[in-house]
Structure 1
Amino acid sequence: MTTLSQDGTSRDTLLRAELLSFNRDPGEGDMPSPGSLEHYEDGLLWLRDGRVHAIGDYATLAAELPADCRVEDYRGKLIMPGFIDTHVHYVQLDIIASYGRQLLDWLNEYTFPEECRFAEQAHAQSIAEAFLDEQLRVGTTTAQVFGSSHPGSMDAFFSACRARDLRMIAGKVLMDRHAPDALLDGATGIADSERLIADWHGKGRLGYSVTPRFAPTSTRAQLDAAGGLLRNDATLWMQTHLAENPGELDWVAELYPGSPDYLAVYEESGLVGPRSTFAHGIHLDNAMRTRLAERGANIAFCPSSNLFLGSGLFDRHAARETGMAFTYASDIGAGTDLSGFATLKAAYQVGQLKGQPLTAWQGFYGLTLGNASALSLDEHIGRLAVGKEADFVILDESATPLLARRTARCTTLGERLFALMMLADDRAVAETWAGGTRRHQRG
């Protein structure tokens, strides 16, 4: 599998398998638009120093291989770029599958008590490691992650990511009202964020996302200060919540009576821009969608969470018609599964209820290059292409008896991808690689 340079360090890794990667949005049709994907039935993925050195048909590239190299044979498996999750709470890992409530009750009954535990650094470290183990097990190599309001929760998370050389974006939650006293950070929240940015943003493959939880738990002064962080450094990201639940909308209108709508609360503080992710965006009108599109922000579509909390059905077609970018996310812990397969399955079900069926082409494009582009990360990840970071998953389409039976009946790549979208789970992820290194291997 590997050849050595003169100093004895590993340089080349060669994997033979079926390869699939998207070049751009494949469109909404039953077949992908011409040129929108790269597919090699018998391909070679050639890695060097953590990046893709070459990719193509095995028969074509075989003649260029070093004489002393060994090719690892993954024929019968499918390699795709690593999955990307644009909205997830690592600190809520242990409350996944807690008996359902709607949003505001969920926060008070489950979320806030759980996040209080992250004042203990040892607990934060333990959950950060467990969360990353789970992410890699389901094939997710990059995520945009909420911590708790404790700065130590982010030190623990970033340290664990750095040790595994993962490309991750994350931030400490900001909230200075309407939460338990143990979670409020009014006196120190911005200063703690500034320290975390200095310590972690741009270190290795890490990025910092300024993270006000949502408008009801931040005063205008805190939202304005968060906007100031973004103005001071255009390379930062921003993540929060928007228009998830009707009760939430009513609360925001009561707390911010001078703002014309929920989105305007964030706009007035300078929080809406090309690196801004707003989770959910279910209860928006087209004027708000258009404003988000004009500023280059994206909505994180969290289908399993939206169904679990009864929040509503995201309108993908309205998003596309207004040019508003949207991404796919698990939203653990209200979401019911960290797996990208489960997210796409739930997105398909939401689409069916809205009369907007989701094709497998759209789903897997969204989970890879689409999410990377919306997060301004497509320069680094999201494709199997020369020069990109070598973050990818190796998928086993016979991982379960039922998946194997269904796949055996498929006659096209599109059918196989749809079967994966609907039937696969973590067992279908044979291996997960990040930065050119195998970080998870099933079994």
Structure 2
Amino acid sequence: MRTVYRGKIFTFNQCATLLNLQGVIPGNLFVDDEKFTFLRDGAMIVEEGKIVTIGDYHKLKETLLPEDKVVDYGNKLITPGFFDTHMHATQTSGVGAYGEKLLTWLENYIFPSEVAFNSEQAGRREYDILLNQLFKNGTTSICAYLPTSYDGADLLFDMTNRYNMRAVMGNTIMTDGNKNLITDPQTSMKISEKLYNKWHGTDRISYALTPRFALSCTEETMGLCREFLESHPDAYTQTHICENVNEIEDTISKFPWAEDYLAVYEKFGLVNDKSIYGHCIHLSDSEWSRMVEKGAIFANCPASNNYLGSGLFKYKTAVERNAKLTLATDWAAGNTLSMLRVMDDAYKVAILNSFKLETLTRWFSATLGSAKALGLDKYVGSLEVGKEADFIVIDPEANDLLGYRLESSYNLLDYLFSLSALGDDRIIAATYIYGNKVYSK
């Protein structure tokens, strides 16, 4: 059976890019552009998890079938679900812990909380909380760091797959550091191999080789990571780079032969167009150039960077160099799972660096831009015919102040800016994954 979703609709179109969205100024609220669509009274028809038609409701209603089910969201906004490209599925119990700085925060709060995932019961409870909160905040696709153990990682693969969620995930590889979390290099690779073979390409799941960061890996481990990627070139890689100045100094001390942080990953073949790099705050000019040239993905995490005082990401550089820019929460150093709050933090960070990060750029980087960066845009990221029906319903009036503010909204950019400036989980009325409702207020 087909389901017709009626309401306001906003989506980017496939031709939208980071560059061609710069300087776009819609003349009024209800305007279309080749790069995006805004429908005042739109309709989206979904069948078997896919979008089969989208357009103006009054033009489509004559084509509806008697058996079609109509879900009328009235004045609410239907828009693509958010894509969080960097988060830690093992850190929910540590959210809101006193920040300190990155390395101290990890040792004092996060590593101890991650040990709990040696217990399936504890892991299942925390994953349930995490997934429910993701859906409550309108996130439908994730890139996630999982436990170091096979059982703990396998559990979240299974749980996300039950929701038919689009997810890129992997067991966190740690062979140096906290004694309660580390495994030996060979064991880590066996876990990676087993998870890849079981889950990669299953339904909407992709495997990501996940060395936590260079400090948590020995050279032997990094060499095994290179061998894994040579054997499995379709796997993603996710790790951290240049998040904290002390982290950078410690990395260079550990690998004294490296000219910079990125050189460590380059030596072991971990920099390519399927590599997702978290933070990227303190990159040198050379590192920026090499990452962009190799098509690496920038997963920037402004909420986390602010919380731990890690630094200000250079959004101006990312836009000018046409980097594969994505936005992420870095849960749970990021103290929110709301990509609306992350968009707002990104705006503030850019302003502190005397750069106006445009509204469309931020929404793009949280939806279609992320999907494009990961090569998943033929599936998700926008509401277009043939794509998977991952979408959310936003109710601005659920926040009294936001509802009042939008009474004077004068064009699409002002409307979207206000949603990200004042919105949070309160305005997410419903979340759909592959056409199935997974959250509703």
Give the TM-score normalised by structure 1. 0.95
Aligned residues of 2:2 and 2:69 also touching (Cα < 8 A): no
Secondary structure, aligned partner of 1:156: helix
Native 8 Å contact 1:319 1:326 kept in 2: yes
Contact 2:143 2:168 in 1 (8 A): yes
Looking at structure 1, the residues matched to 359 and 402 of structure 2 have their Cα atoms a distance apart, in angstroms, of: 16
Q: RMSD value over aligned CA atoms?
A: 1.3
- Measured in 2, the distance between the counterparts of 1:392 and 1:323 equals 27
Q: Name the CA shift for 1:196/1:70 in 2 (closer, same or farther; >3 Å).
A: closer
Task: State the match for 1:152 in structure 2.
Answer: 151
Are 1:320 and 2:310 an aligned pair? no
Query: 1:72-111: per-residue Cα shift (whole Å, max 9, x none)?
Result: 2112010111100000001001111101110110111111
The one of 23, 26, 29 equivalent to 1:29 is: 23
Q: Distance in 1 between matches of 2:338 and 2:184?
A: 32
Are 1:304 and 1:343, in contact at CA under 8 Å, matched by a contact in 2?
yes
Q: Deviations over 1:241-291 (max 9, x none)?
A: 000011011101101111111001001101111111110111112211111
Tell me, yes or no, if the aligned pair for 1:210 and 1:237 is still in contact at 8 Å: yes
- Counterpart residue number, 1:130: 129
Q: Does 1:108 align with 2:107?
A: yes
> Would you say the 8 A contact 2:6–2:44 is kept in 1?
yes
- Contact (CA 8 Å) 2:244, 2:310: kept in 1 or not? yes
Structure 2 match to 1:224? 223
Deviation at 1:306, TM superposition (A): 0.5
Unpaired runs of at least 5, structure 1: 1-10
Question: Tell me, what secondary structure is at the counterpart of 1:230?
Answer: helix
Distance 2:311 2:42 in 1: 42
- Per-residue displacement from partner, 1:164-193 (whole Å, max 9, x unpaired)? 111111110001112224433434000011
Q: Residue 222 of structure 1: SS of its match in structure 2?
A: helix
Alignment partners' CA distance in 1, 2:89 and 2:256: 33
Letter in 2 for 1:15: Y
Output the CA distance in 2 between the equivalents of 1:41 and 1:17: 7
Cα contact 2:176–2:182 (8 A) shared by 1:
no
2:241·2:277 contact (CA, 8 Å) conserved in 1?
Answer: yes
Cα distance between partner residues in 1 of 2:138 and 2:231:
34
Q: Counterpart amino acid of 2:423?
A: A
Q: Which moved more, 1:28-37 or 1:354-363?
A: 28-37
Deviations 1:177-232 (A, max 9, x none): 12224433434000011001111111111111100000011011111211222221
Distance in 1, Cα, partners of 2:125 & 2:226: 32
- Within a 5 Å distance, the mapping from 1:93-104 to structure 2 comes to 93-104=92-103
CA distance in 2, matches of 1:181, 1:62: 60
> What residue in structure 2 maps to residue 18 of structure 1?
8
State how far apart, in whole Å, the 2-side matches of 1:230 and 1:373 are: 21
Which whole-Å CA distance do the structure 1 matches of 2:70 and 2:246 have between them? Answer: 57
Distance 2:77 2:253 in 1: 51
Report deviation, 1:30.
5.3
2:378 aligns with 379
Find the residue that maps to 1:43 and give its secondary structure.
strand
2:290 aligns to what?
Answer: 291
- Pair 1:167-2:161 in alignment: no
Aligned residue number for residue 7 of structure 1: none
Match of 2:29 in 1: none
Mark the CA change 1:182 to 1:74 in structure 2 (over 3 Å): closer, same or farther: closer
- TM-superposed deviation, 1:359: 2.3
Aligned residue runs from structure 1 range 23-422, under 5 A: 23=13, 24-25=16-17, 26-29=20-23, 31=25, 34-422=33-421
Check conservation: 2:83, 2:142, Cα contact below 8 A. yes
How much does 1:323 deviate?
A: 3.1
Distance in 2, Cα, partners of 1:254 & 1:182: 22
Q: Tell me how far 1:36 sits from its aligned partner.
A: 1.1
Q: Provide the rounded CA distance (Å) in 2 between the counterparts of 1:185 and 1:376.
A: 32
Mapped to 2, the partners of 1:419 and 1:323 lie a distance apart of: 26
SS at match of 1:172: strand
In 1, distance between residues paired with 2:157 and 2:119?
Answer: 16
Mean Cα displacement is larger for which, 256-265 or 184-193? 184-193
Deviates more, 1:365-374 or 1:68-77: 68-77
What CA deviation, in whole Å up to 9, does each residue of 1:304-359 have, x standing for no partner? 11011111000011122233222100001110100001100110110110111222
Question: Could you list the per-position Cα deviations for residues 25-61 of structure 1 after superposition, in whole angstroms to 9, with x for gaps in the alignment?
Answer: 3523252695110111111100011000000111221
2:35 partner amino acid: S
CA contact (8 A) 1:244 1:283 kept: yes
**Do the aligned residues in 2 keep the contact of 1:174 with 1:185 (CA within 8 Å)?**
no
Between stretches 406-415 and 165-174, larger displacement belongs to 406-415
* Counterpart amino acid of residue 299 in structure 1: F
**Which secondary structure does the structure 2 equivalent of 1:41 belong to?**
strand
d(CA) in 1 for partners of 2:404, 2:56: 28
Q: Structure 1 CA distance, aligned partners of 2:255 and 2:200?
A: 32
For structure 2, the 5+ residue unaligned runs are 27-31
C-alpha distance after superposition, 1:364-423 (max 9, x if no partner)? 111110011111111110010000000000000111111111111212222111111010
Contact 1:82/1:392 (<8 A) preserved? yes
C-alpha distance in structure 2 between counterparts of 1:182 and 1:146, whole Å: 14
Distance 2:63 2:191 in 1: 52
Do the aligned partners of 1:116 and 1:183 also contact (CA within 8 Å) in 2? Answer: no
Cα distance in structure 1, aligned partners of 2:213 and 2:338:
25
Q: What one-letter code is carried by the residue in structure 2 that aligns with 1:324?
A: A
- Name the amino acid aligned to 1:131: L
Identity of aligned residues (%): 35
Letter in 2 for 1:311: S
Classify the secondary structure of the residue corresponding to 2:37: strand
